[in-house]
A and B are shown apart, each in its own frame.
Chain A
Amino acid sequence: MKISDIILLASDNLKRNIFRTALTAFGVAVGIGSLSSMISLGKGVSTNISKQMESNDIFTGLTMSSRSMDFDGYSNKTILSDDKKQTVPLSDSTIKEILSWEEVATAFPEQIKPATINLEGKSVVTNIKAIPLEMNGFYPFTKINPGSFYTSESEPCVIMSKIVLDKMGITTPYDSLIGKNIEIITRVFDLDKIDLITSKKKQLPVKNDTTILKIKGIVQTTSFSAGIFNDGIFLPPMTCSFIPSIDLRNVYDIINGEQGKYGKYNTVHIRVKEYAMLKPVKLRLEEKGFSVFSIGDKLEDFEKIFFMLDTVMAVIGSIALIISIFGIVNTLIMAIYERRKEIGIMKSLGATAGQIKMIFYFEAAIIGFGGGVFGVLCGKLISQASGKIANSQLGNFFDSNIEYFSFSWEIVFFSILFSVLVSVIASIYPANKASKIDPLNALRRE
């Protein structure tokens, strides 16, 4: 019996009960649809989000401090705690030494000052950050649009971040903001009010200081940018250092009698040339007694989470598929009861047990193929819709729209193949049962 004959006989049999066949195939489609979309989600999330992270240089940056440090990855807040054992000071010579390391692309002190900024009658409390010229070729400053990076360390300008503009609710076209003045209001000591500390009013002796700078560019950062770059406004280091601001940490150090103990800088940002170099550099810095934080450390955790996500999703899809297998077994067993006499006739005409089995295997395979194709189609549609919803909800989290579902041809091919295989496996018992039908009994039963 040729394969074309078996396919013809099997499809004829299925056509006879088209509604039941369609329902069974639909069951398979639900299983395959959920399985394929879930695998594609797992694959999409792990591949595309990791890619996004890598494109953001998020894994090549690390922050070092002379104090012990912890990091809350979700709020991007650096929590510094005074650890008496970590007292290696951070100075210009330390940075110079780090810059001489082959693996290091750049290193600079993180100078961050709290400020209120005013633009077009709107204001927001944020941080101003000193970014050296060398950062011009690094993410996120590769994504300045409109405008450009500053050309000198003392240029009186700022680079705005898109996130800050969004927070301020500025809807003006970004092109028109280039060259506009921005007010930066910082808090400074007011020596005239120093007696307030001891007075009954218990007010701090501070006053506002206003600096006006021009907007040079707007950087398209997202919430998912690395560390210090995801928020605030960016200034040339010299310009930043001219803006007066109270450094409360230094105040605390003076109060605690630890002035100068931690060096000139609180934290230093380091960029390694590639991700593989991150760990050796981190270990080297830790050996020197610095506290180092890197989100790259979290990559393995991310991978574990993605793996878990994949597994959980595959399990859910598999459960749906197992249920559909029962549907196939049920359909085929029903077919055996209905076609008992027909099987008897076939055997009386010389059909072998193997030929009868093959007819049932192919019936299951056709159901599996139909269900697989339909399931993959449904999975693709559902994943496209879900991807759109996810992007609309998490749009500003990444630089661009993320393909949360990676519906590759491999997934399509293997989902359909898997569907056919599982269906054929499900048909083994019914097919065996059918092949063992005694023709004499089957014809007598009439």
Chain B
Amino acid sequence: MALIQVEKLSKTYKKGDNKIYALRNINFDIQEGEYVSIVGKSGSGKSTLLNLLGGMDTSAEGGVYYNGKNLLTMNEKDLSYHRKFTVGMIFQSFNLIPSRTAIDNVKLPLIFSNYPVMLRETRACELLYNMGLYNRALHYPSELSGGEAQRVAIARALANKPKVILADEPTGNLDTATSAEIIGLLKMFNEKHNITIIMVTHDKETAYKVSHKTILLSDGEIIKITSNQNK
């Protein structure tokens, strides 16, 4: 059974009297441990799809199933649980809390998940160490470079050991070298820890290079799903 099943997923919004489709009849499966990229032009519905997969948005028709449970019909409490333990989110603009140090940002999901107080520090340090940021732990986001900030965001996303990482244009604000570094990190977690990665990007080349599956979206519809099981 697939880890994630998206069935007949449609999302519309109204513009005047017209009904606009942000997503139209989307269907696909994602297996555990897959690296999936969602590519398409601006406004193609990539981020909308990712938000629906992350349980950040539930106003859509159809179904987004995680282990058989439909996110679109979940209550607020179950959605919070999903965001806390099942998925970890990475954003283009990092979304670190500026008033908290790197380590405190990483500790934040551990606080919400009631992770044992005594072990939080160790867990956060371990994650930052794995990201090569141990010496930046007490720095504030404003004191970090873009690559460092994104690595802190990845560490934070991994804090509660989720099965899935949802990355919304994780390299959109980074230069080529740093982008490669971040993609490399995601690939490493995918391969080494069997974490499912779902990444939204407009960079088709990178997507085809690193992903097991690439979903090409255009105007809210899937144009093509490319599988490359050799990756």
Q: Kindly state the interface size class of chain B when it binds its partner.
A: 20 to 34
Question: How many Å lie between the Cα of A352 and that of B160 in the bound state?
Answer: 15
Once A4-B117, A440-B51, A443-B95 are accepted as A-B contacts, the answer to whether A349 and B56 lie under 8 Å apart by CB is no
Once A349-B83, A350-B80 are accepted as A-B contacts, the answer to whether A1 and B100 lie under 8 Å apart by CB is no
Query: Is A342 interfacial (CB-CB < 8 Å)?
Result: yes
Mark contacts of A1-27 with chain B using CB atoms, 8 A cut-off: 1 yes-contact digit, 0 otherwise. Answer: 110110001001000100000000000
- In the complex, chain B residues whose CB is within 8 Å of the CB of A440: 51, 56-57
Shortest CB distance B96–A (Å): 8
Mark contacts of B90-107 with chain A using CB atoms, 8 A cut-off: 1 yes-contact digit, 0 otherwise. Answer: 010101110110000000
Question: How many Å lie between the Cα of A210 and that of B56 in the bound state?
Answer: 105
Question: How many Å lie between the Cα of A329 and that of B89 in the bound state?
Answer: 33
Query: Is A208 interfacial (CB-CB < 8 Å)?
Result: no
Mark contacts of B56-98 with chain A using CB atoms, 8 A cut-off: 1 yes-contact digit, 0 otherwise. Answer: 1100000000000000000011001111110001010101110
- In the complex, chain A residues whose CB is within 8 Å of the CB of B108: 346, 349
Once A2-B114, A12-B99, A443-B91 are accepted as A-B contacts, the answer to whether A350 and B85 lie under 8 Å apart by CB is yes
Q: List CB contacts (< 8 Å) of A343-401 with chain B.
A: 345-353, 355
The residue in chain B whose Cβ has the minimal distance to the Cβ of A341 is: B95
Shortest CB distance A144–B (Å): 70
Shortest CB distance B53–A (Å): 13
- Does the CB pair B117–A350 fall under 8 Å? no
Question: How many Å lie between the Cα of A68 and that of B100 in the bound state?
Answer: 83
Shortest CB distance A3–B (Å): 11
**A interface SS class:** helix
Once A12-B99, A348-B56, A350-B81 are accepted as A-B contacts, the answer to whether A5 and B111 lie under 8 Å apart by CB is yes
Q: Which of B77, B85, B99, B112 contacts A346 (CB 8 A)?
A: B112
- In the complex, chain A residues whose CB is within 8 Å of the CB of B89: 348-349
Question: How many Å lie between the Cα of A440 and that of B81 in the bound state?
Answer: 16
- Does the CB pair A1–B114 fall under 8 Å? yes
Question: How many Å lie between the Cα of A9 and that of B112 in the bound state?
Answer: 11
Question: How many Å lie between the Cα of A341 and that of B91 in the bound state?
Answer: 13
Question: How many Å lie between the Cα of A27 and that of B182 in the bound state?
Answer: 49
Candidate in B57, B85, B95, B96 with the most chain A CB atoms within 10 angstroms: B95
- In the complex, chain B residues whose CB is within 8 Å of the CB of A439: 56
- Does the CB pair A348–B83 fall under 8 Å? yes
Question: How many Å lie between the Cα of A437 and that of B34 in the bound state?
Answer: 32
Shortest CB distance B137–A (Å): 17
Candidate in B84, B112, B117, B156 with the most chain A CB atoms within 10 angstroms: B112
Query: Is B109 interfacial (CB-CB < 8 Å)?
Result: yes
Shortest CB distance A147–B (Å): 74
- In the complex, chain B residues whose CB is within 8 Å of the CB of A342: 97
Once A350-B85, A440-B56, A443-B91 are accepted as A-B contacts, the answer to whether A345 and B97 lie under 8 Å apart by CB is yes
- Does the CB pair B56–A1 fall under 8 Å? no
Query: Is A410 interfacial (CB-CB < 8 Å)?
Result: no
- In the complex, chain B residues whose CB is within 8 Å of the CB of A443: 56, 91, 95
Query: Is A446 interfacial (CB-CB < 8 Å)?
Result: yes
Q: Which of A4, A9, A12, A345 contacts B95 (CB 8 A)?
A: A345
- Does the CB pair A347–B99 fall under 8 Å? no
Question: How many Å lie between the Cα of A355 and that of B84 in the bound state?
Answer: 13
Question: How many Å lie between the Cα of A368 and that of B142 in the bound state?
Answer: 32
Question: How many Å lie between the Cα of A342 and that of B105 in the bound state?
Answer: 11
Once A348-B54, A440-B51, A440-B57 are accepted as A-B contacts, the answer to whether A355 and B95 lie under 8 Å apart by CB is no
Query: Is B206 interfacial (CB-CB < 8 Å)?
Result: no
Query: Is B113 interfacial (CB-CB < 8 Å)?
Result: yes
- Does the CB pair B112–A355 fall under 8 Å? yes
- In the complex, chain B residues whose CB is within 8 Å of the CB of A352: 76-77, 80, 112
A-B contact pairs, 18 of them (CB 8 A): A1-B114, A9-B111, A12-B99, A341-B95, A345-B95, A345-B96, A348-B89, A348-B95, A349-B89, A349-B108, A350-B81, A350-B84, A350-B112, A350-B113, A352-B76, A440-B56, A440-B57, A443-B91
Given A345-B96, A440-B51; 10 other pairs, CB 8 A cutoff: A1-B114, A347-B83, A348-B89, A349-B83, A349-B109, A349-B112, A350-B83, A350-B113, A352-B80, A440-B57
Q: Which B residues fall within an 8 A CB radius of A? A: 51, 54, 56-57, 76-77, 80-85, 89, 91, 93, 95-97, 99-100, 108-109, 111-114, 117, 156, 160
The 3 closest A-B pairs by CB, nearest first: A350-B84, A350-B83, A352-B80
